[in-house]
């Protein structure tokens, strides 16, 4: 039976932050979403994740139901804000999952708060400004949040930017992106772009000592798979799994990746986490 999830508003640093908490047993999983995405986007993955695992999801400031910040933020200040969220919810230590843009935030949190992050899951993400970049035609389509506002546009560009299953089923983009868009991000999206400008985890990746599961799509136009291989070589306690899908594989392959992540977070006694 699935555990109960509640959506609430927290006042963090004087601003409203929308947070969803799924009850469970033991250490929670803090999930950091991709750019422009509300917390609902990862619901299909959450449905396939062991229901006994508590889960914390949130809307980044300026996205979904979270207020715009008073001043622009960066990954370091946002990692501090997440620490305040955990304090408010009464959690000391957490596991952290980050996808795409949220993978950068997850790396920053693990480095900045090593005693609060036990295990790390990085999905379809890279090292920030110092990475093997996507093709310019892909990047040009990521500059604006139009795909969250216009379902026809989302379907039209999905094969190009997301790859994987969406090459054959571009209509899924409407279901995955547009149906969860709520009010479409504008300034909040720009602030997320600004937060990642000039940031890179490359200098500190070898210092991230938490066991880390790196998940990467073999057909990911936004984050070419070579980036995951580089991260794996630099992170001393990492495991790499390449799945046959694209950038949104955490959603489109939730049946496979949900149990895989759960097995990594809570391996059976004496069992090696999946590779």
CB atoms within 10 A of CB 94: 23
For residue 203, the SS3 value is coil
Cα 210 to Cα 201: distance, rounded to the nearest angstrom: 15
Residue 23 is assigned to a structural domain of this protein: yes
Give residue for tokens 């947070």.
Answer: 19
228, burial (CB in 10 Å: exposed 0-12, middle 13-18, buried 19+): buried
Residue 218 is assigned to a structural domain of this protein: yes
For 64, the domain range is: 5-142+184-265
Give residue for tokens 């216009």.
Answer: 150
Cα 131 to Cα 147: distance, rounded to the nearest angstrom: 24
Cα 160 to Cα 205: distance, rounded to the nearest angstrom: 30
Residue 173 is assigned to a structural domain of this protein: no
Cα 64 to Cα 58: distance, rounded to the nearest angstrom: 9
Residue 96 is assigned to a structural domain of this protein: yes
Q: Where in the sequence numbering do the catalytic residues fall?
A: 100
Torsion angle, alpha carbons of 97, 101, 104, 109, to 10: -50
For residue 22, the SS3 value is strand
Strand order across the 94-99 sheet: 5-12, 15-22, 55-58, 29-32, 94-99, 117-123, 212-217, 238-243
Structure confidence at residue 180 (pLDDT): 56
Structure confidence at residue 153 (pLDDT): 87
* Domain at 128, CATH number: 3.40.50.1820
Structure confidence at residue 183 (pLDDT): 53
The domain tally of the chain equals 1
Residue 80 is assigned to a structural domain of this protein: yes
Say if residues 186 and 145 touch (Cβ distance below 8 Å).
yes
Say if residues 94 and 56 touch (Cβ distance below 8 Å).
yes
Residue 157 is assigned to a structural domain of this protein: no
Residue 197 is assigned to a structural domain of this protein: yes
Cα 58 to Cα 35: distance, rounded to the nearest angstrom: 13
Structure confidence at residue 2 (pLDDT): 52
Reading the chain (275 residues) residue by residue, the pLDDT tens digits are 456 899 999 999 899 999 999 999 999 999 999 999 999 999 999 999 999 999 999 999 999 999 999 999 999 999 999 999 999 999 999 999 999 999 999 999 999 999 999 999 999 999 999 999 999 999 999 998 888 888 888 889 999 999 999 999 988 887 887 655 545 568 999 999 999 999 999 999 999 999 999 999 999 999 999 999 999 999 999 999 999 999 999 999 999 999 999 999 987 433 444 44
Residue 86 is assigned to a structural domain of this protein: yes
Cα 97 to Cα 213: distance, rounded to the nearest angstrom: 9
Where does residue 239 fall: left (phi above 0), alpha (psi -120 to 50 degrees), or beta otherwise? Answer: beta
Structure confidence at residue 149 (pLDDT): 82
């Amino acid at each position: 039976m699935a555990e109960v999830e509640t959506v609430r508003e927290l006042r963090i640093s004087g601003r409203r932050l929308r947070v969803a908490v799924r009850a469970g047993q033991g250490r929670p999983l803090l999930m950091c979403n991709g750019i422009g995405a509300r917390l609902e986007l990862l619901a299909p993955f959450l449905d396939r994740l062991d229901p006994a695992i508590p889960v914390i999801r949130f809307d980044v400031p300026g996205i979904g139901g979270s207020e715009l910040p008073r001043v622009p933020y960066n990954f370091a200040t946002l990692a501090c804000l997440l620490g305040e969220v955990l304090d408010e919810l009464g959690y000391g230590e957490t596991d952290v999952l980050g996808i795409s843009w949220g993978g950068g935030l997850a790396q920053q949190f693990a480095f900045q708060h090593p005693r609060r992050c036990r295990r790390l899951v990085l999905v379809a993400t890279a090292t920030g400004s110092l990475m093997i970049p996507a093709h310019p035609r892909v990047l040009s389509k990521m500059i604006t949040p139009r795909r969250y506002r216009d379902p026809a546009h989302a379907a039209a560009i999905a094969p190009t930017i997301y790859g994987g299953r969406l090459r054959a089923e571009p209509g899924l983009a409407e279901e995955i992106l547009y149906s969860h868009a709520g009010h479409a991000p504008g300034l909040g999206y720009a602030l997320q772009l600004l937060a990642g400008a000039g940031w890179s985890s490359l200098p500190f990746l070898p210092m991230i000592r938490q066991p880390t599961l790196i998940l990467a799509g073999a057909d990911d136009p936004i984050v070419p798979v070579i980036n995951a291989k580089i991260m794996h070589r630099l992170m001393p306690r990492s495991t790499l799994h390449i799945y046959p899908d694209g950038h949104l594989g955490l959603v489109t392959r939730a049946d496979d990746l949900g149990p895989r992540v759960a097995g990594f977070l809570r391996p059976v006694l004496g069992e090696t986490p999946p590779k």
